[in-house]
Chains A and B, each alone.
Chain A
Amino acid sequence: MPRRFFSKFVTDHRVASVSGTLCAKVIRPSVVSHLPALMVLHGISRNADELVELFEPEAERSGRRIVVPDFCASSWTHFQRPSRSARPDQALLALLSYLAILDPVFAGPVDLFGHSGGAQLAHRFAMLYPNKVGRLNLAAAGWYCLPDTSMAYPYGLGTDDSAEAELWARRHDLALPIYLGLAVRVFVGTGDTDRDASLRQTPDLDRLQGPNRIARAETYVERFRAAALRHGIQPDITLTPLPGVTHDVAHAIAHADLARLVTKSEPELALLATAC
């Protein structure tokens, strides 16, 4: 039996960039809405195909066009953040530019959703190109680039002796006020407390961002709010715990409606919050 993502509404794409070739699937609902397109970024399990299946019903419900890039292991050893060894941001930009030729909705801004390593890439992409991003949805990032200078890059926007930290800090500098003005929705499972091998652990990271993904999400939200206020910006960031969810995106979607939460429009989310 053919898998659902080979249906007529899911199309395959492959886009070359100076940083490498990136494959992606685009879900096009039968009736499209005026809502921005959504880009869904997988984590280190690289489960792009699974995310296509999980998001397809929500694309149909919301009318959103959804693109799911696939950073395959053979081409992308690293993809969670732009660095000297990998520039996933350039690949994502090339993908959006290519898709914008096919459908102007991808000219942006587009909403972003990322889980785990995908959340890392999502917020780092938004920090560099906040003008390309609508709403930023982050689920269960292992750690964050804090929007202040409390830690040197890549943990924050501070500098150390390295030229790379200085380079990236400078590049982020002008984009920061726009980034801090984005609507950011942070999600983390209430059971996502494991300190396993997939969680980066260093003494400084544990001390400054927290021991697990819940604490680190809380730190990020708090630092984001403080940074926004320092820039005279009213922060629009929320932290939503996902009851009973561990570090498993399929579980979060099946049992905590995560895909629905990130595809809902802001007014729908506001109504949901009022109802609760």
Chain B
Amino acid sequence: MPHNQISALATAKWTFSTRRVDRSHIAGMDTDFAAARAGDLILAQVESIGQHNRVQLVSGRPSNIFPGDIIVLACGARYAPDQFEGWAEIDPSGCDLLAGGGCMGRMVSRNERIKPATRLLPMGRLLDGAGRPMNLDSYTLPPTMRGGEIPVIFVLGTAMNSGKTTATAQLALGLRRAGYNVAALKGTGTGAFGDYNEYSDTGAHWVADFTDAGMVTTYREPMDRVKSGLELLLGHAEEQGCQIVVMEIADGLFQRETGALVADPWLRGRMSGMVFACGDAVAAAGGVAELARHGIRPDALTGILSCSPMAAAEAVAATGVPVLRKNDLADPAEANAFALRAFSNARAAA
């Protein structure tokens, strides 16, 4: 590795998605970007500022970025209808900052209400001592045989920004207030510290996301790998002494991996409870109907919908499913009812 590039690494901003990487393993770099795959660690320079003017650092704080800044990110895809769709491809002439948590690739579509992506100049792909590309999948939580027992309350929704993260955090808070050791997990999506920190702030006993299972994003990952990641997180939740898990599944029911999970018997087998977040009564009715197609009925509706008493009443009338506000989810009496139902369902499944 040329001397100037070693110096560049020393001053680089390491993004949140790289938080598990052991930097002492870095032995060199190459520029074989055509061979890059999702999770490979890329050293890049900020070329021009677009949609993202900040990146999320490993330390858990955001950092403004400026042209010329050097950052370490992971190559990855992005699914974000409110922002970008992007693929895990590195163009040597320049690529896109797809997510501030540290995901770079090639933007293939953009929501017209947002700016073009911040542009990055790839400098090199990090290599370990054996000359192998360093990839997030080398820095996962260790394998565990556990995870089959712990009850899981899944949080799904109609789309991004429907209220899933708030629901996950508030239910975790309610369960913690009710005296449980609770794990708050993000099962799918794109690595970012916003959700992670929101979960942590509730005092959840253990917090993790798919990055801890070696993925910068679950978008376009094989379903077996996504499920293995979920199992790994559940296993560690159990090992950490958690009694119950609240797990957010990103994006909407029609998103590629979420849709596949909902249709997969694995999800029904692991589900001890479910909260569905949505924005209005029609979305609630549609979501409940779509879930019913797969034999799933949510225990509660929540999200933006719950802010409006009129919308909530319409949703209850249309679906028969109770609507809970975020304060309800954080109420230990409500959360304990969720927990008791989850334990009962988990016992029945066993």
Question: Interface of A with B (CB < 8 Å)?
Answer: 18, 82, 89-90, 93-94, 96-97, 100, 107-108, 128-129, 131-132, 170-171, 173-175, 178
- B337 A93 Cβ-Cβ under 8 A: no
Contact B340 A175 (CB under 8 A): yes
Return the contact of B179 from the options A18, A107, A170, A171 (Cβ within 8 A): A107
Report the minimal beta-carbon distance from A83 to chain B, rounded to whole angstroms: 11
A/B interface sample: 7 pairs, CB < 8 A: A89-B332, A94-B177, A97-B177, A132-B179, A171-B334, A175-B337, A178-B340
Q: Is the CB of B333 within 8 A of A173?
A: no
Bitwise interface map of B from 174 to 196 toward A, beta carbon under 8 Å scored 1, else 0: 00011100000000000000000
The DSSP consensus for interface residues of chain B is helix
Q: Which residue of A lies closest to B327 (CB)?
A: A18
Cα A100 to Cα B332 in complex, Å, equals 17
Query: If the complex has contacts A170-B322, A174-B341, are A129 and B177 also in contact, measured as CB distance less than 8 A?
Result: no
Q: Are B179 and A97 in contact (CB under 8 A)?
A: yes
Chain A residues lying within 8 Å of B341, measured Cβ to Cβ, are 174
Mask of B331-348 contacts with A, CB within 8 angstroms, 1/0: 111101101110010000
Q: Is the CB of A129 within 8 A of B178?
A: yes
Indicate which residue in B178, B332, B340 contacts A174 across the interface (CB closer than 8 Å).
Answer: B340
Assess whether A173 is in contact with B337, with CB atoms less than 8 Å apart. yes
* Contact call B178/A93, Cβ cutoff below 8 A: yes
Contacting residues, chain A, for B333 (C-beta < 8 A)? 82, 89, 128-129, 171
What 7 additional pairs, Cβ within 8 angstroms, besides A94-B177, A174-B340, A175-B337?
A97-B177, A107-B179, A128-B333, A129-B178, A129-B179, A173-B337, A175-B340
A90 close to B322 (CB less than 8 A): no
Instruction: Kindly provide the distance from the CB of B168 to the nearest chain A CB, expressed in whole angstroms.
Output: 19
A93 to B331, CA, bound (A): 11
Contact yes or no, B344 A174, CB < 8 A: yes
Q: Which residue of A lies closest to B309 (CB)?
A: A163
Cα–Cα, bound, A168→B331 (Å): 12
CA–CA, A173 and B337, complex, Å: 8
Give chain B residues whose Cβ lies under 8 Å from the Cβ of A96. 179
Contact B340 A128 (CB under 8 A): no
Contacts of B322 in A (CB 8 A): 170
Please indicate the chain A residues that have their CB under 8 angstroms from the CB of B331 in the complex: 90
Given A89-B332, A174-B344, A108 and B179 contact (CB-CB distance below 8 Å): yes
Which of B322, B333, B340, B344 has the most chain A CB within a 10 Å cutoff? B333
Chain B residues lying within 8 Å of A18, measured Cβ to Cβ, are 177
Quote the shortest CB–CB distance from B321 to chain A (angstroms).
12
**Chain A residues with CB under 8 A of B177:** 18, 90, 93-94, 97
CB-CB under 8 A from A131, the residues of chain B are: 336, 339-340
Closest to B344 in A: A174
Q: Contact: B340 with A93, CB < 8 Å?
A: no
Instruction: Determine the residue in chain B with the shortest Cβ distance to A128.
Output: B333
| 3 tightest A-B CB contacts, nearest first | A174-B340, A174-B337, A171-B333
Residues of A within 8 A of B332 (CB): 89-90, 93, 129
Chain B residues contacting A129 (CB-CB under 8 Å) are: 178-179, 332-333, 336
B-chain residues with CB within 8 Å of residue A171 when the two chains form the complex: 333-334, 336-337
On chain A, the residues within 8 Å of B334 by CB distance are 171
CA distance A128 to B344 in the complex (A): 16
Roughly how many angstroms separate A107 CA and B337 CA in the complex, as a whole number? 18
Which chain B residue has the least Cβ–Cβ distance from A127? B333
Q: For the complex, what is the distance from the CA of A94 to the CA of B120, rounded to whole Å? A: 49
Closest to A93 in B: B332
For A125, give the chain B residue with the smallest CB separation.
B333
Complex Cα spacing A175 to B341, Å: 8
